[in-house]
Amino acid sequence: MSIKMRLLLSYIAMLIIPLILTFGVGVGIIKINVGSIQNIATIGETEKNLLSEGAKIFTDIKLTATKNPDQLKNMEYLRGMDQKLSIINTGIVVRQNNTVIYASNLFNGENITEYLPKVRHHQKDNHEEIHDPEFIGNHLYLIKQLDFHFRDGQSGSVFLLTSVGPIGQFAYKLMITMIIAFVLIIIFTNGILTYIVSRSIVKPLKSLKKAAEQIKEGNLNFVLESYPRDEIGELAGAFEGMRLQLKTSVEQQIQYENNRKELISSISHDLKTPITAIKGYVEGIMDGVADSQEKMERYIKTISLKANDLDELIDQLFLFSKLDLKKLPFNFEEIDLHAYLLDCAEEMEFDTGRSGVALQYHTEVKDPLMVIADREQLKRVIMNVVENAVKYMNRENGTIDIYLTASQTTATIKIKDNGQGIPRHLLPFIFDTFYRTDASRNSSTGGSGLGLAISKRIVEEHGGRIWVESIEGEGTSILFTLKRA
């Protein structure tokens, strides 16, 4: 669930839950103070019980209304009845027609006329009736009515009003209690909901902060725990991706640093070897060791060969550096690869033949096969592979075969020899810079170790790929692809 949805649900819950709890608290308070719903429903029975307390008094009043109704106009008589009724918390009201001629002090001067039942025009004498409870002021009264006629024929009614209790005070207390309860419920509910929602946000943020501190300290070897699919989860996923990328970058940087150190070591070795030889032969000439014309020519020839080797190594280093920095310009054009390879094979066949290695070109392609390539750099790739095969050839009848095949999108060139092959565990490293299968780095059998590395960079700049297949003792195949035009 998203954080936005969680906050929305939390907001709705903050509105609904306090209302429900407050309603429940109110019902509970009412039940405690007023009684159960059943008792409220049977409040008519309570009226009868309360009125039965003054049954004798009411009987006297009823007898008076029958025999001497005008006595109910006598204030002394009414005050006497009022005093007796006050014991049971009951007041008396006498009405003549629509006018109240006496009202008990129990009502504290309240104008009770409007609360009394209306005058019935066809009332019968000594007609009794119990009415529903009625609020007068802030008190609830149970009302019993007796109808009669005065001697002059005017209608009269006697009302006995029994107070149930101080409803207004109860309502005030209930209102104060409900307000306090509502405030406490809101504080409690909002606190709980805020804690739950904030915990689901703060906890992962703290975890992310801890992870950031570990990255700051250089520790990338940890795994960030997963989180639900929300905004925090997406952030954690992006953070974990950043950590993995940083870890990969650091590992690559370490690998680059190791490669740089190895490169410096290899360059130092490969430069020092011809320079040492040149210095040795020059010193021999200076010391008079070359005391004959034949020795002098042999020394000078050796110095020239070593100088050429040194010059070639520097050229290859310069070329590899430009390839590595992507500063070597390429002149891409459409060329017929079939015709191009045919020319290359004819050109290199003479050189390989002098080394006792036969070179042949094979293809089933009949029509022109157009590819996008740089002629000069493509030739460098082929020559590097062929020269490498010749250098490591250990057979008297060595052969190098060039094959051309094509698919709808690419052309594949395969250069295969029948030499000594490469051990399986060394295959992943042959395109590395300065790598030689000869661990001793003997310059008489191996070149600079840059040829295949340069070839790989050139093929990759063409948008192709290069790989090796080899069986130890049977031979090696170098394959690479080019994009068709």
What is the model's pLDDT at position 44?
Answer: 46
Distance of alpha carbon 146 from alpha carbon 129, whole angstroms: 7
Asked if residue 222 is part of any domain, the answer here is: no
- List residues bridging with 363 in a β-sheet: 404
Please return the burial class of 410, using the count of CB atoms within 10 Å of its CB with bins 0-12, 13-18 and 19+.
middle
Please return the burial class of 331, using the count of CB atoms within 10 Å of its CB with bins 0-12, 13-18 and 19+.
exposed
Task: Show the domain range for 86.
Answer: 68-165
Same domain, 148 and 190: no
Asked if residue 451 is part of any domain, the answer here is: yes
Same domain, 78 and 111: yes
10-residue mean pLDDT profile of the chain (485 residues): values are 65 75 74 50 48 72 87 89 83 88 79 77 73 74 85 87 64 72 80 73 76 80 69 74 83 77 71 83 84 86 86 79 80 93 91 89 89 93 91 86 93 93 87 60 54 88 93 92 92
Same domain, 281 and 393: no
Same domain, 161 and 175: no
Asked if residue 339 is part of any domain, the answer here is: yes
Please identify which residue in the block is written with the tokens 């340069």.
454
CA dihedral sign of residues 219, 222, 224, 225: negative
pTM equals 0.49
Return the CATH number at 81.
3.30.450
Phi, psi torsion values for 237, nearest 5 degrees: -65, -45
Same domain, 279 and 335: no
Same domain, 306 and 439: no
With beta carbons less than 8 A apart as the criterion, state whether 116 and 92 touch. Answer: no
Same domain, 366 and 465: yes
Same domain, 295 and 413: no
Asked if residue 223 is part of any domain, the answer here is: no
Per-residue HEC secondary structure of the chain comes to CCHHHHHHHHHHHHHHHHHHHHHHHHHHHHHHHHCCHHHHHCHHHHHHHHHHCCHHHHHHHHHHHHHCHHHHHCHHHHHHHHHHHHCCCEEEEEEECCEEEEECHHHCCCCCHHHCCCCCCCCCCCEEEECCCEEECCEEEEEEEEEEECCCCCEEEEEEEEEEECHHHHHHHHHHHHHHHHHHHHHHHHHHHHHHHHHHHHHHHHHHHHHHHHHHCCCCCCCCCCCCCCHHHHHHHHHHHHHHHHHHHHHHHHHHHHHHHHHHHHHHHHHHHHHHHHHHHHHHHHCCCCCCHHHHHHHHHHHHHHHHHHHHHHHHHHHHHHHHCCCCCCCCEEEEHHHHHHHHHHHHHHHHHHCCEEEEEEECCCCCCEEEECHHHHHHHHHHHHHHHHHCCCCCCEEEEEEEEECCCEEEEEEEECCCCCCHHHHHHCCCCCCCCCCCCCCCCCCCCCHHHHHHHHHHHCCCCEEEEEECCCEEEEEEEEEEC
Those residues with Cβ within 8 angstroms of residue 120's Cβ, 6 or more apart along the chain or in another chain: 147
What is the model's pLDDT at position 153?
Answer: 83
Distance of alpha carbon 395 from alpha carbon 105, whole angstroms: 139
Which of these three, 165, 184, 216, is where a domain ends? 165
Return the CATH number at 418.
3.30.565.10
Same domain, 197 and 255: no
Closest listed residue to residue 459, CA positions, set 401, 411, 404, 400: 411
- Four-CA torsion 338, 341, 343, 349, nearest 10 degrees: -140
Return the CATH number at 258.
1.10.287.130
Distance of alpha carbon 32 from alpha carbon 30, whole angstroms: 5
Tokens of 236: 């954690």
Same domain, 358 and 278: no
Same domain, 27 and 94: no
Q: How many structural domains are present in the chain?
A: 4
Same domain, 361 and 458: yes
Asked if residue 113 is part of any domain, the answer here is: yes
Asked if residue 56 is part of any domain, the answer here is: no
Asked if residue 362 is part of any domain, the answer here is: yes
Distance of alpha carbon 482 from alpha carbon 382, whole angstroms: 13
Asked if residue 52 is part of any domain, the answer here is: no
What is the model's pLDDT at position 482?
Answer: 94
Tokens of 143: 């009302």
What is the model's pLDDT at position 323?
Answer: 75
Please identify which residue in the block is written with the tokens 């891409």.
332
